Amino acid sequence: MKMIIVTTVEEYKNEVFKLFKKAGVESFSGSDIDGFKKAAPLMYTSSWFPSERGGAASNMYFSFTEEEKVTELFKMIEQFNTESETTNPIRAVEVPIERTV
């Protein structure tokens, strides 16, 4: 069993859902996050309660699934990133699971 973590900008949310389905990853969790690139130090101290979001609307998904499905998902993500002209590719990591309960 493996854990996969996938991050993407909001615009690719539906594409990630399609890729998960094609790879057979049927159960996963997700969360809205803010993505940052080279954030300026001033951004961190400008306000305790900022009225505007400082980062790009992004999403993070994770799933515990079989290795074969992870392999297939990674192939499809690589193909998607190759065919897309973007500076924000879909990112994914694979984490081995030692034990589960």
Query: Which CATH number does the domain 2-35+54-96 belong to among 3.30.70.1280, 3.30.70.120, 3.40.640.10, 3.40.50.1380?
Result: 3.30.70.120
CA dist 101 → 2, 47, 97 (Å): 14, 42, 11
Q: How many residues does the chain have?
A: 101
Domains of the chain, residue spans: 2-35+54-96
Per-residue pLDDT, 56 = 83
Tell me, what amino acid is at 25?
V
pLDDT digits (tens, 9 = 90+) for 18-68: 999 999 999 999 999 988 777 555 555 555 555 555 678 899 999 999 999
